[in-house]
Structure 1
Amino acid sequence: MLTLRKQLSRHFYRIMLYSILATLLTWILGFLLFTIINQNKTLNPANYYESQIPEMVDMVNTQDDILNPDNQDLLDKIIPLEGLDYQIVNAEGQIQYGSMNEHYLTSEEDVFKQLNKNIYDDNQIVVYYPIFDNGQNFLGAAGFRYQLSVISANADSRALLFSLFIFAIITPFVYIFLFTYIIGRRWAKRMKEPFNEIIAGAGKIEKQDLNFTMHHKSNIKELHQLVAAFDKMKTALKEALEKQWSMEEERREMVAAVAHDLKTPLTIIQGHAEGILESNHELPKRTTQYLQTILLNCRRSIRLIQELNDVSSYENTDFHLEAEPVNPEVLIRDKINEYRQLCHAQDIELQASIHFLEDIQSLFYLDPFRINQMLDNILINSLRYTQEKGVITWETYISEQELKFIISDSGPGFSRENQEKLFKKFFREDKARNSADGHSGLGLFIAKTIVEQHRGKISADNHPDGGAVFTVTICNMDYK
């Protein structure tokens, strides 16, 4: 098991070594192939034409009237123009004739200064040699231009040599790319396996499936440590979640047990108190007040226990809605009639209206019991905080996809600092919307849970004209 740094270094050196060996082998094979192709030919060295220049100079000096352009045909035959260019200039540096037209000498001083010296023209070399007549008088100079390369020295095989030269240059890079791809792919495959296992493990954790073990052991030290750390994290998370789930289950069982144990005796107390009030009209006034207080608190306790039961049900992972097709207009009108009587009893005006946003062609799928419970919790909240002679406004908008309720009241509204906490469990405002009628603080939490179970949204705000306003949207559970 090596560190990532050492493995990267090892792979780099391996790639370079394999590339060098493969390149040398390819060059040797290429040279052998070239030799076979050119087995009847001798390969000229790079200075082949340079070595012929002294002989060419001697030939030029043996010619009569060498500055005469009539000698060009003769020199063209003598000088191998496939590898040498020549130029005959007079003593002033003026070109007389030749195969190159470039002016390398421009004056007599230039001629004497550049004699027997190399003049470099890009990758070509130009050399001027003096020309004398039979009396050894200086007549001018003969210039020769050539290249020092094997390709230029072998004109017949130039195309093949050039291709071989290009191939020799790119061969190392081809092998570096090839071995990098092969070794990198094998290495990436080895690295991919533990990463895939980690990704698969993360997906199982997301689904709360922690009954798995990390089996892969990488030969990369850091990756092996990562897999081991992930496995330890999973184990610790599993232990923590199992503990949390156990505590949650115990809490739910406790709430359910308390609710069950309290509901029966409180119901009995309520029944006896109601029986006393109904059957004995001669009770002293104070005793009657006591019984009324008992009855009121019994009702509050039963309501609290029922809400605790509801919360326990909603938090259960097995909970699901009992959606069924209903006529939303009938459901809403029945609820309006029910609360119109309650509002009338408290001298509160209920202004309700139903609006159809489109022609409804089918029934609306929802859980009617839960929707009634949600509306009860919101409307009871509005009734609790609306004073006599107050107004509760309820607007309903019906479409194929959703139902929208806007319920507002003329009560004190919400305090701004508590507005974001309204739908939390056991939250009760103690300032703006405070009431002598104590309540559990679970009503709005239950309403929010029911709305979210219907893939909807609920919000609460203060009306510009005063009071609270609830906006609820629930979706048609059958609508895709």
Structure 2
Amino acid sequence: MQHLRKQLSRHFYRIMLFSILATILTWVIGLLLFQLIYQNKTLNPANYYESQIPELVEFVNEQEDVLNPDNQAVLEERIPLEGIDYQIVDTDGVMQYGSMQDRYIASREDVLTELNNNIYDGDQIVIYYPITDNEQHLQGAVGFRYELSVMSSNAESQPVLLSLFIFFLLVPFVYIYLFTYTIGKRWAKRMEEPFNEIITGARKIENQDLNFTIRNNSNIKELHQLIAAFDKMKTALKEALEKQWSLEEDRREMVAAVAHDLKTPLTIIQGHAEGILESNQELIERNRQYIETIIFNCQRSIRLIQELNDVSSYEKTEFHLEVEPTDVEALIQSKIKEYQQLCDTQEIRLQTSIHYSDGKHDLFYLDSFRINQMLDNILTNCLRYTPEQGVITWDTYIAEEELKIVIMDSGPGFSKQNKKQLFKKFFREDKARNSADGHSGLGLFIAKVIVEKHQGEISADNHPEGGAVFTVIIRNVKSKM
């Protein structure tokens, strides 16, 4: 187990050491190969042209009237111009001819003092030799310019030699890159394992799966501590969530139990009160009002208990729809007849329409009982807030993949600050849509849950002309079965 900083330093030193050793080995092998080639006379030595100069001087002195430019062609046939430049000057240092145009001797004194002396022109060497006649009288001088290097001695192989030189120059950097890539890749792979463990664990937590363990095999101290901290967080989160889930389950069971226990005596009270009202015995007016109040509040309590039961069942993870093929038009028509009577009773006009987007379709797959319940909750809400002589408009659009329902009332609509909270549990509107029946605030929440169970969407807004508008989209869940 080491700190990240120490491991980085160790890997850096390893890269540099391996690169240096590999570079030295490559250079040694290159020198051995170069020496082998040289011994086989595949390459000319660095003094290849310098060694020819004595013979060239002798050849020049053998020529008659060598200062005459007519001898230039004869000399250039003998002198290897690819590696040596030459120049013929007289005793006054005046150039007569040659391939070397630069003047290194400018006077008789220079001719006498610079003979057989090396003159350096950068990397090149210039040397002048005397030209004499048969009686050894000085006639002038011949100068040669050449370079002492393997590169210049092998003009035809210069591209290959230059490439090799560049290669050997870049060898250290190549090895640094290769060892950095190799060692870095291995080290990165070892570092990826703990990060992958953390990423996988985070995804499992996102999916509410806390029954997993994290391998902590990292030899980097910081990563080891990170994984250990993540594992502790997962364990603490698991304990907290299990406690929360347990409390939530207890709450649901309590709500269901209380609702069940309350429903029976309230139903009995309602039944007895209705029985008294329906009896032939005459009741004084006050007793009748009392009994009607009892029945009304029993109905409210039973409805609230039923909604609590529905909420409890919908929140359970094991809850599922009872999907079946359904004739949507028949379902809607039946609901329209049911609410037409209720609207007539309250002197509210109900306007309905059913549209097919592209002709009639096969049966639509949905949970008809839950869709009925959803429609009841929305329509009851509209009835509750629509005044007498008001209008409820109900348009239905049936397509192959979805069912769209738009229901609008002519009531007061929703307040702006509450539109986003309409579908929250136990939410009740303010005075703009308040009623005397003390509704529970669960109806629209239950409607939203039912729609979402059908992979659909529900929204509520205010119509520009006044009133509330509910838009519901139900998906055909046939492909989900």
Contact 2:267 2:302 in 1 (8 A): yes
Stretches of structure 1 lacking an aligned partner (at least 5 in a row): none
Deviates more, 1:126-135 or 1:244-253: 126-135
Residue of structure 2 equivalent to 1:462? 462
Is 2:166 the counterpart of 1:152? no
Residue of structure 1 equivalent to 2:190? 190
Per-residue deviation, 1:175:
2.7
Determine helix, strand or coil for the equivalent of 1:11. Answer: helix
- Partner AA of 2:328 in structure 1: P
Q: Deviations over 1:35-68 (max 9, x none)?
A: 3344344976646646876986797688664432
- Partner AA of 1:250 in structure 2: D
TM-score normalised according to structure 2 size: 0.87
Distance in 1 between the 2:125 and 2:357 partners? 95
- Partner AA of 2:266 in structure 1: L
Q: Deviations over 1:274-308 (max 9, x none)?
A: 11111155222122111111111111111111111
Q: Given the superposition, is the C-alpha separation of residues 29 and 387 from structure 1 closer, same or farther in structure 2, using an over 3 Å criterion?
A: same
Distance in 1 between the 2:243 and 2:270 partners? 40
Determine helix, strand or coil for the equivalent of 2:432. Answer: coil
- Percent identity over the alignment is 70
- Partner AA of 2:186 in structure 1: R
Q: Given the superposition, is the C-alpha separation of residues 287 and 39 from structure 1 closer, same or farther in structure 2, using an over 3 Å criterion?
A: same
Q: Given the superposition, is the C-alpha separation of residues 228 and 265 from structure 1 closer, same or farther in structure 2, using an over 3 Å criterion?
A: same
Residue of structure 1 equivalent to 2:353? 353
Taking the TM superposition and a 5 Å limit, the aligned residue runs for 1:336-347 are 336-347=336-347
Deviates more, 1:244-253 or 1:83-92: 83-92
Q: Deviations over 1:210-263 (max 9, x none)?
A: 122222321112221221122112112111211111111111111111111111
Per-residue deviation, 1:427:
0.6
Per-residue deviation, 1:91:
9.1
Q: Given the superposition, is the C-alpha separation of residues 352 and 152 from structure 1 closer, same or farther in structure 2, using an over 3 Å criterion?
A: same
Is 2:303 the counterpart of 1:303? yes
Residue of structure 2 equivalent to 1:446? 446
Determine helix, strand or coil for the equivalent of 2:202. Answer: helix
Distance in 1 between the 2:146 and 2:294 partners? 123
Taking the TM superposition and a 5 Å limit, the aligned residue runs for 1:99-118 are 99=99, 103-104=101-102, 118=120
Distance in 2 between the 1:211 and 1:369 partners? 37
Q: Given the superposition, is the C-alpha separation of residues 85 and 108 from structure 1 closer, same or farther in structure 2, using an over 3 Å criterion?
A: closer
Distance in 2 between the 1:106 and 1:160 partners? 33
Deviates more, 1:8-17 or 1:317-326: 8-17
Taking the TM superposition and a 5 Å limit, the aligned residue runs for 1:362-377 are 362-377=362-377
Determine helix, strand or coil for the equivalent of 1:317. Answer: coil
Per-residue deviation, 1:202:
2.3
Contact 1:415 1:431 in 2 (8 A): no
Residue of structure 2 equivalent to 1:379? 379
Per-residue deviation, 1:405:
0.7
Per-residue deviation, 1:472:
0.6
Q: Given the superposition, is the C-alpha separation of residues 8 and 294 from structure 1 closer, same or farther in structure 2, using an over 3 Å criterion?
A: same
Per-residue deviation, 1:172:
2.8
TM-score normalised according to structure 1 size: 0.88
- Partner AA of 1:27 in structure 2: W
Distance in 2 between the 1:17 and 1:289 partners? 102
Distance in 2 between the 1:104 and 1:341 partners? 121
Per-residue deviation, 1:107:
12
- Partner AA of 1:457 in structure 2: E
CA RMSD of aligned residues (A): 3.3
Is 2:460 the counterpart of 1:477? no
Aligned residues: 472
Contact 1:89 1:142 in 2 (8 A): yes
Per-residue deviation, 1:126:
6.7
Stretches of structure 2 lacking an aligned partner (at least 5 in a row): none
Q: Given the superposition, is the C-alpha separation of residues 319 and 87 from structure 1 closer, same or farther in structure 2, using an over 3 Å criterion?
A: farther
Q: Deviations over 1:390-443 (max 9, x none)?
A: 110101111111111110011000011111110101110112111122100010
Contact 1:91 1:108 in 2 (8 A): no
- Partner AA of 1:381 in structure 2: N
Residue of structure 1 equivalent to 2:404? 404
Q: Deviations over 1:69-128 (max 9, x none)?
A: 23324533654434222244679998643345xx5459969x98xx875445xxx63747
Distance in 1 between the 2:5 and 2:53 partners? 59
- Partner AA of 1:26 in structure 2: T
Residue of structure 2 equivalent to 1:210? 210
Contact 2:11 2:183 in 1 (8 A): yes
Contact 2:458 2:472 in 1 (8 A): yes
Contact 1:126 1:143 in 2 (8 A): no
Per-residue deviation, 1:26:
2.3
Distance in 2 between the 1:94 and 1:253 partners? 121
Q: Given the superposition, is the C-alpha separation of residues 327 and 159 from structure 1 closer, same or farther in structure 2, using an over 3 Å criterion?
A: closer
Residue of structure 1 equivalent to 2:254? 254
